[in-house]
Amino acid sequence: MEHPALSRRRLLGLFGAAATLPVLSACGSSVGGGGSAPAAGGGGGTIKVGLVVPQSGVYAALGEDMTRGWNLWLDANGSKFGDYTVETIAVDEGETPQTGVPAVQRVIQQDNVDVVVGLVNSATALGVKDLLTESKKLLIVTNAGAGALTGPDRTPYIWRTSFTNAQIAAAMGTHLAETGFAEGVFLIAPDYAAGTEVIEGFKAAYTAGGGTIAGEAKPPFGSTSDYQPFLSTIQGSGARATFCFFSGAEAITFVQQYAQFGLAGSIPLYGSGFLTEGNVLAQQGQAALGVQTTLHYTDQLDNPANTAFVEAYTAANGEAPSTFSVQTWDAANVLDRALATATALDGDSLATALGGIGVIDDSPRGTWEFDGQTPRQNIYLRSVQDAGGTLVNAVVEDLGPQSQPG
């Protein structure tokens, strides 16, 4: 079945400056059971989706971007996946598994959703694996980057439209090894699971390309506000470049202090793309200029789907989209494709349909496809530049399609 491409006219014609999609309150369980499915794919009925993203806590800004991406796709498509009417039940993931796991349990057991979409926290995603398997419900992860979610021991019920931590970092490792920085990169990331995965992913690719490590540091996660001791270590290490992973408030602080310490001019800063992604970039200010990162998206991508997406998203929300928006937009997009052939709404049927959708050719991030339940996608080398007074992650180079590292 041919899937209609998302046109610029279609998007812009359906959005006004204040367009929003009504989302059902999570204040009580829905009446009745899950969505009704016909005997053959695409025949209509209702599909209930639990959108579990942060609405409070430190990740609330990510959750807002994710919700906006979801709403944008549904508004542009009449709140339907093919002939199925989409009923969205939004629940707060919070910021830890202690809030996230009960949120997923709630939408599955009380609201009886057919599909769960979202999740920022990898520990939450890993923590609901058994629940998904027992209930045969599909989860599409739209952020959490833990490799184990789609690794060798994966469940068939967890797919992702986002990334793995190592996938993004490995692209930079290979790039630096091949472009004159094979000697002396210093590695720094917070001492927690995601930081460890990023560093290990970078190191594996970088050393495979002949690179040597000048040193490593793991500042305590969530409690480090003064990076001067670590910056002094970098300065004295003989490093020719620094590779780091920070996000949120830590990304703002680290980038600003790196520049203030005087390292930016002599030891260029590289990072996993979340270092300068979303609303942290404007807060980093001029300190971020010249910082280079790798990621699978930037709003500066020059392709028709992204041009339409950025214009529609900005019109609806008053600011440019982030990778968090795109990842959730793409979750809706692949569900729409899967429901064209799915024979039912249980996890087995939907997983089989997702595995057969092939190349996704109308995503703002560019062409991608599933490889082992996770995207094989182009990774872009980006540089922070000043575009008429606005800081942007400009595209330096397309590093090509890359899968989750083995």
185, 312: one domain:
no
pLDDT of residue 384: 98
Confidence at residue 23, expressed as pLDDT on a 0 to 100 scale: 39
pLDDT at position 71? 98
Whether residue 236 is found in the same domain as residue 385: yes
Q: 143 with 230, same domain?
A: no
| 359 & 390 share domain | no
Same domain, 157 and 183: no
- Shared domain check, 323 and 280: no
- Alpha helices, H only, 41-121: 60-76, 97-109
User: Does residue 28 lie within any of the structural domains?
Assistant: yes
The reported pLDDT for the residue numbered 43 is 58
Contact call for residues 115 and 157 (beta carbons, < 8 A): no
Three-class HEC string of 169-238 = HHHHHHHHHHCCCCEEEEEECCCCHHHHHHHHHHHHHHHHCCCEEEEEECCCCCCCCCCHHHHHHHHHCC
Q: Please report which residue ranges of 237-303 form alpha helices under DSSP H.
A: 248-260, 280-284
> For residue 2, is it within any domain?
no
* Residue 3 located in a structural domain: no
Name the pairing type of β-strands 212-217 and 115-118. Answer: unpaired
* 30 domain residue, yes or no: yes
Please give the Cα distance from 26 to 90 (Å, whole number): 6
CB 235 within 8 A of CB 263: yes
d(CA 128, CA 140): 12
Domain co-membership, 339 together with 269: no
Please check whether residues 33 and 55 belong to one and the same domain: yes
The DSSP bridge partners found for residue 269 are: 242
Residue of 365 and 15 predicted with greater confidence: 365
Count: domains in the chain: 2
Residue 71 lies in a domain: yes
pLDDT at 182: 81
The fraction of the chain above a pLDDT of 90, given in percent, is 83
Q: Are residues 175 and 226 in the same domain?
A: yes
Tokens matching residue 135: 């209930």
Question: Structural domain of residue 317, as residue ranges?
Answer: 8-162+302-373
If asked whether residues 261 and 227 sit together in one domain, one would say yes
What pLDDT sits at residue 30? 25
Residue 241 located in a structural domain? yes
Q: Domain check: are 351 and 289 in the same one?
A: no
In a domain, 109, yes or no: yes
Residue 4 pLDDT greater than 70, yes or no: no
| 321 plus 393 within the same structural domain | no
Please indicate, yes or no, if residue 20 is contained in any of the structural domains.
Answer: yes
Provide the 10 A C-beta neighbour count for residue 118: 33
CATH number for the domain spanning 116: value is: 3.40.50.2300
